[in-house]
Amino acid sequence: MALTWSNQAAAMAPGTFTRSGGIRLAIVGTAHLQARDHGLELGNRSVDILARVQSTRAKDYVAEFNAALSPWRREPTVRDFVQRTRRELGVAA
């Protein structure tokens, strides 16, 4: 369902709904993680976007994404991503 919603939401004009776009990527990335696909590319794109906005709600979605990474928390790419979210968004793991 999240992926269907994402495809519909992808039609939003780029740069017009910055926060919504970043949140959408965090949600879709989480869906990929739950399907056992790391989804880190989507997570990094989400951070790229959300680093430009101030939104508690957006940070909550990234925190959920980080929580979904727990099965892979020892992998270097996952550790790097979690550290990036702390550094750039102030999101706790």
pTM exceeding 0.75: no
| Domain residue extents for the chain | 2-89
Among candidates 30, 64, 63, 62, which has minimal Cα distance to 47?
A: 62
Tokens describing residue 67: 């929580």
pLDDT digits 0-9 by tens, 25-83: 788 777 777 666 667 888 898 899 899 988 999 999 899 889 988 888 898 988 999 99
The span from the CA of 29 to the CA of 31, in Å, is 5
Cα torsion 23, 35, 2, 10: sign = positive
HEC string of the chain equals CHHHHHHHHCCCCCCCCHHHHHHHHHHHHHHHHHCCCCCHHHHHHHHHHHCCCCCHHHHHHHHHHHHHCHHHCCCHHHHHHHHHHHHHHCCCC
Residue 2 has pLDDT above 70, yes or no: no
pLDDT digits 0-9 by tens, 70-92: 888 898 988 999 999 999 999 97
